[in-house]
Structure 1
Amino acid sequence: MNRNFVIVGAALAALWHSTALAQDTIDIKVGVLNDRSGTYADLSGPGSDIAAQMAIDDFGAAEKGINVEIVGADHQNKADIASSIARRWFDQDGVDIIMDLPTSSAAFAVSDLGRQNNKLVIVTGGGSSDLTGTKCAPSTFHWAYDTWSLAHGTGSALVEQGLDTWYFLTADYAFGHSLERDTSAIVTEAGGTVLGAIRHPFPGQDFSSFLLQAQSSGAKVIGLANAGADTINSIKQASEFGITQSGQTLAGLLIFISDVHALGLQSAQGLVLTESFYWDHNDETRAWSRRFAERFGGTMPTMSHAGMYSAMMHYLKAVDATRSKDTATIVAKMKEMPTQDVVFGAGRLREDGRKIHDMYLFRVKTPQQSSGPWDYYETVATIPAEEAFRPIEDGGCPLLSK
C-alpha cells in the first residue's frame, strides 16, 4: 500500500473524528451548592469546586467533547436558601446537576426539587441516611458517607470495647436527629444502653450547659451527633470542663480531617472515628491529595472533597458513554457501571441511590506518633463495602417497591 495514501487516510480519519466530536459536543452546567462561610465551610466550601474541577481535568472532558461549567453558591446551611438557589438554577440558569449539599435539611429540599424538575442531585456533603431511605428520590445519589455508616463504624467499635452506656449531644436538625437515631440503634443492637440525649441549636456556640448535663448522666460515652465547627467547639469545651479527664469518652460521630486539624492533636488524640477517605491511605490517595493541596493552599482534602471528585468522575463517564445528559439515561448508566477512582477505589451504585465502597475506622494519633502536619490517623479497621452501609431492604426506600 502506498505510504502517502496511508498518511492521508489517517489524517482524514482524524479530521472526521474531530468534526464528529464537534457536532456531538455536550454542554453541562454543574451547580456546587454548599456552606462557604459558616460551620461546614472547611469540610466542604470552595474545596469542593477544586475537587470537581480536578475530576473534569483528569477525565479529559474537553477533549471528549464535554464542556463543563461550574457555578457555586453559599446556602448558609438553610433549607429555604438552598431551595431558592436550586429553583433559580434549574428554572432560569440551565443548571443540569446540583452537587455537594452539606446540611441534610438543605439536601432534602434540593432532592425534592430535583425530583420535581427531573434533574440530577448528588449529595456528597450531607449525611442523613434517609436520603436513600424513606426520602429517596429517583434522580438523587448519596455518595461519600451517611449516618448509618458512621454509626455502624464508631458505635459498634466502642461498645465492643466495653463503652456500653451512651448519652447524646445532638445538633437540632435533620442530620443530628438521623445520626442520633442510627447510632442509638447500633448501640442497642450491640448490647449497649442509651441513657438519654439533649439537643443543641444549630449552629451552636456555647455548649457548656449541654455538656454538663451529658456529664451528669454518668454515661461512659458522650456521643457528639453534630459536625464541623459544632463538633470542634464541643470537644474544646468538654476538655475545658475536664470531661474526658474524669473518665468519660467523647465519640465524634462525624469527624473530618479538617476538624482534627483545627483541634490539634493535643486535643483530638485518641478520638475514634469513621471515614470513607484519608489522604495518606495509599499511593494513589497521596498523589491525588497532594495535587489537591497544591490548589488549596496546602490543605488536605476531606472525605466530602473526595466524594465530589469521585461523583463528578463517575457522572462524566456516564455522559461520555451515553453522549447524553438526559437525567433518566444518566441515572441508569451510572447505576449500571461499577465505580472506580483513585480516592475510593472500586464500588457501585445501588437502586436506592446509595454509593457503596469501603469505610474505615481510624484513631487519631498522639502528637508523639505524628510525623508532621496532616499525619493524623492510624487505621484501626477496614469495613468492607457490603457491610459498611445499611442493607437496602432495611431503608424503606419507596423506589424499591415500584
Structure 2
Amino acid sequence: MRKNLIASVAFLLASSTAVLAQSATDGKVKIGILNDQSGVYADFGGKSSVEAAKMAVEDFGGKVLDVPVEIVDADHQNKADIASNIARQWYDTEQVDAIMELTTSSVALAVQAIAKEKKKIDIVTGAATTDLTGKACSPYGFHWAYDTHALAVGTGGALVKQGGDSWFFLTADYAFGYSLEQQTSDYVKASGGTVVGAVRHPLSTQDFSSFLLQAQSSGAKVIGLANAGLDTSNAIKQAAEFGITQGGQHLAALLFTLAEVHGLGLEAAQGLTLTEGYYWNRDDESRAFAKKFFARTGKMPNMIHTGTYSAVTQYLKAVQKAGTDETEAVAKQLHEMPVDDVFGRGGTVGANGRMIHDMYLLQVKKPAESKEPWDYFNVLATIPGKEAYIDPAKSGCDLVK
C-alpha cells in the first residue's frame, strides 16, 4: 500500500505540473498593444509603440519559457467603449496575457478596470492620470513611463522658480486634462504661485481661438497647456498667431514630447520647457537604442516608445523569473524586480504599481543650437524619481499598507 500511495502521489504531482505548464502558456505568450493609431495621439505613441514592443521581443530572443512571444495591436480611437470591447475580446477569446501602452487616460482607466476584473496584467505607458496608481489602482495594474504628478513637478516647478508665479490653464476636457491641471495647480500654489483661471476644450479641437483669447485676457504670466499631442501643437501654433508669447506670456507645454517638437519644428517650439522620462541623445546607450528604433520607424523615440520597450522587456523578465505567465505570479515579480534598462535605470515598482524612475527637465533648442537632425533638447536637470512621483503610501491606493 505504501508503494502504491507514493506512486499515486508522484503521478498526481507530475500531472498537475504538466497541466499548470500547459495552462500557464497556452503554447505562447501574447501581448496586446492598444493605443491611438489614427488620431490626435498617433505620433505620440501609435504604430511606433507597436514597433518598440516588437523590438523588445526580438531583443529578448523571441521566446520565453521556450514558447514564442506574440505581439498584437489595435487602434482604440481614443474611445473608452471601443478599447473596452477590444480588451474583453483579447482577454476572453484571443488568449492575450497582458495589454500595454493604453494612450488616453479614460481608456487606460477603463481597460485597467477590466484587467482587474479578469485578473490580467496591464502596463500603462501612454496615459498620464495618477488615478491609475491611486484610487483606481489594481494588483495587476502598472504605470510605467510618466504621470501627471511627474510632469507638474518638472515643468510646473521649473517655471515657478523662473518667476512664472501666475497661471491660467487651457485643459483637455477629459480625465487626463483634469488630472494634469489639478496636479500642476497644486504644485504652483504650494510653491507660492496663484492660479487665476482655466478653460476646457474638446479633445481634437481644431480651433483654439476662443480659449486662447480667454487665456490672453487673464493676464497670467504662464498659460499651462494641460493637453497633449496635436492639441498641444495646434494650440502653440495658434498662440503665435495671436502674439501671445510676444506679449510677454509664457506657454507651458505640460505634456510635450520629442515627437510633437519634431512635428512643430524648432522655429516654433524653441524655448519651450518640458519634461520627459527619456531623451535619445542623453548618452551612448540611449543613442544606440534610438539608432535601431530609427531604422525601423524613421523617427527617434520619445518616452512613450522607449517606455513601451521597457514595459514589454520587464514583463518578459517577470514571466521568465516566475516560470509561468500566470497572472498572480507575474504580478508578484513585477512588483519585486528592479527595473534596469535603457529607459528605467535604477527603477523600482511601488505597491501601487507605479514604476519610480528619474525624469528629465528639458528645453527645446534654438535652430542654430541643433547640431544634427532630432537634436532638439538641452537637459536642464535630472529629477530624482522620489521627487517626481507621489509616495505610494500617499497615493490613495488601497493596496498600500
Work out whether the TM-score is over 0.5. yes
In the alignment, what sits opposite 1:393?
393
Q: Secondary structure of 1:155's match?
A: helix
1:302 correspondence with 2:302: yes
Q: Give distance in 1, aligned partners of 2:115 and 2:394.
A: 24
Aligned residue number for residue 10 of structure 2:
none
Alignment-derived partner of residue 113 in structure 1? 114
Equivalent AA in structure 2 for residue 81 of structure 1: I
Taking the aligned partners of 2:67 and 2:207, their CA distance within structure 1 comes to: 48
Q: Paired residue for 2:5? A: none
Question: Offset of 1:395 from its aligned partner?
Answer: 1.3
Task: State the match for 1:133 in structure 2.
Answer: 134
Structure 2 Cα separation of the partners of residues 229 and 248 of structure 1: 21
Q: Which runs of 4+ in 1 moved over 2 A?
A: 22-26, 61-64
Q: Which amino acid aligns with 1:183?
A: T
Q: Residue type matched to 1:289 in 2?
A: A
User: Paired residue for 1:192?
Assistant: 193
| Structure 2: gaps of 5 or more residues | 1-20
Aligned twin of 2:12 = none
Which residue of 1 is the match for residue 325 of structure 2? Answer: 325
Query: Cα distance, 1:164 vs. partner?
Result: 0.1
Distance 1:129 1:112 in 2: 15
Aligned match of 2:361: 361
Counting only pairs closer than 5 Å after superposition, residues 86-97 of structure 1 correspond to structure 2 as: 86-97=87-98
- Separation in 2 of the partners of 1:340 and 1:40? 28
1:179: how far off? 0.2
- Report 1:41-120 matches (<5 A): 41-62=42-63, 65-120=66-121
Tell me, yes or no, if the aligned pair for 2:277 and 2:343 is still in contact at 8 Å.
no
Distance in 2 (alpha carbons) for counterparts of 1:200 and 1:66? 47
TM-superposed CA distance for 1:64, in Å, is 5.4
Q: Distance in 2 between matches of 1:38 and 1:30?
A: 22
Query: TM-score with structure 2 length normalisation?
Result: 0.92
Partner deviation per Cα, 1:94-141 (whole Å, 9 max, x = no partner): 111000001000000000000000000000001101110111111100
Aligned-pair CA distance for 1:63 = 7.1
Deviation by residue 1:215-265 (Cα, 9 ceiling, x = unmatched): 000000000000000000000000111100110000000001010001100
Contact 1:284/1:343 (CA < 8 Å) preserved in 2? no
Counterparts of 2:201 and 2:260 in 1: how far apart (Å)?
A: 19
1:43 positional shift: 1.3
Bigger drift between 175-184 and 316-325 goes to: 316-325
Q: Which runs of 5+ in 1 are unaligned?
A: 1-21
User: 1: CA distance between counterparts of 2:166 and 2:63?
Assistant: 55
Q: 1 CA distance for matches of 2:300 and 2:199?
A: 33
Q: For 1:237 and 1:71, how far apart are their aligned partners in 2?
A: 37
User: Partners of 2:135 and 2:209 in 1: how far apart?
Assistant: 35
Distance 2:188 2:216 in 1: 19
Number of the residue aligned with 2:178:
177
1:280 aligned onto 2:285: no
Instruction: State whether residues 29 and 64 of structure 2, in contact with CA within 8 Å, keep that contact through their aligned partners in structure 1.
Output: no
Specify the alignment match of 1:245 in structure 2: 246
- SS of 1:301 mapped into structure 2: coil
**What code does the residue aligned with 2:375 have?**
D
Secondary structure (helix, strand or coil) at the match of 1:339 reads coil
- 1:17 alignment partner in structure 2: none
The one-letter code sitting in structure 1 at the alignment partner of 2:157 is S
Native 8 Å contact 2:168 2:222 kept in 1: yes
The question of whether the paired residues in 2 share the 8 Å contact of 1:200 and 1:210 is answered with yes
SS at match of 1:245: coil
- The one-character-per-residue Cα deviations of 1:185-229 (angstroms, maximum 9, x if unpaired) are 000001000001000011211001000000000000000000000
Paired letter, 1:174: A
Identity of aligned residues (%): 57
The 3-state SS of whatever aligns with 1:32 is strand
* AA in 1 matched with 2:360: Y
Q: 1:321: Cα distance to partner?
A: 1.0
1:177 is matched by which residue type in structure 2?
Y
Taking the TM superposition and a 5 Å limit, the aligned residue runs for 1:218-229 are: 218-229=219-230
CA distance in 2: counterparts of 1:393 and 1:347, whole angstroms: 17
The answer for the alignment partner of 2:39 in structure 1 is 38
Distance apart, 1:337 and its partner CA? 1.1
Q: Is the 8 A contact 1:61 1:316 kept in 2?
A: no
